[in-house]
Structure 1
Amino acid sequence: MYCAAFIFEPGTYDERFHALDALIEEAAHATPGYLGAETWRSPDGTRSNATYFWDNQEALRAFSAHPKHLEAKRQYTQWYKGFHIVISQVLRSYGDGKIEHITPNQRDRGQGVAA
């Protein structure tokens, strides 16, 4: 499993942004291997993070090459003050089982908390 964290500082969004954003969201959902996403915003609202989860690296690459995604990349300065992307391979995911998450819970309940 892979995740792509899109960390950004929002600027001003217009109608074109919202239309393109909706098309990109549709493209992500339509890409085989897309598992889901979650978003976070800093308490002061100045920075956001949208993390997308993918079954494999090929799926992530396919989404990255989608024409609408490429269009948005070319125009990002219209809508964002800045961005940073982190691509990661998920090595382990665990919890107490009380919170559902996109990543599988790999905690061995008989062994305590995994490291």
Structure 2
Amino acid sequence: MYIAAFHWLPAQYDEQFHQLNARIDAVARANPGFIGSESWQNDDGTRRCASYYWRDLDSLQAFATDPAHLEAKREYARWYAGYQIVISEVVRSYGDGRMPHLAAATAG
């Protein structure tokens, strides 16, 4: 399993951002290697993170090279004051099994 963690400093969002963000989310969810996602922000909302979970690196690469995602990469400075992406390979994951998307991805 791989995790792509997108950390960003938000700036001004406009209608194009929201439309493109919805398209990118749909692209991720349509990818057969997509496991799930989660997001958080710090208390004052000045730093945010969205983590996307993938079965394999090919699925993550397909997401990263989708035209909607490439458009967002070109336009990022309009909506973000800064960003950092961390790609991680999970070597172990365990728990009590009550987190459905992660439990199914790491079973076995």
Could you state the TM-score of these two structures normalised by the residue count of structure 1?
0.85
Q: Which has the higher helix share?
A: 2
C-alpha spacing 1:67/1:80, structure 2 compared with 1 (3 Å): same
Unaligned residue ranges in structure 2 (runs of 5+) = none
Bigger Cα Rg? 1
The match for 1:59 is 59
Can you list the C-alpha shifts for 1:67-94, whole angstroms capped at 9, x where unaligned? 0000000000000000000000011112
| Divergent runs of 4+, >4 A | none
Unaligned residue ranges in structure 1 (runs of 5+) = 107-115
The match for 2:7 is 7
Q: Relative CO higher for 1 or 2, CA cutoff 8 Å, sep ≥ 6?
A: 2
CA RMSD of aligned residues (A): 1.6
Could you state the TM-score of these two structures normalised by the residue count of structure 2?
0.90
The match for 1:75 is 75
Q: Residues of 2 paired with 1:48 and 1:99: CA distance?
A: 25
CA shift, 1:102, in A, is 3.1
Q: Residues of 1 paired with 2:59 and 2:26: CA distance?
A: 14
Can you list the C-alpha shifts for 1:31-74, whole angstroms capped at 9, x where unaligned? 12011100011112110000000000000000000000000000
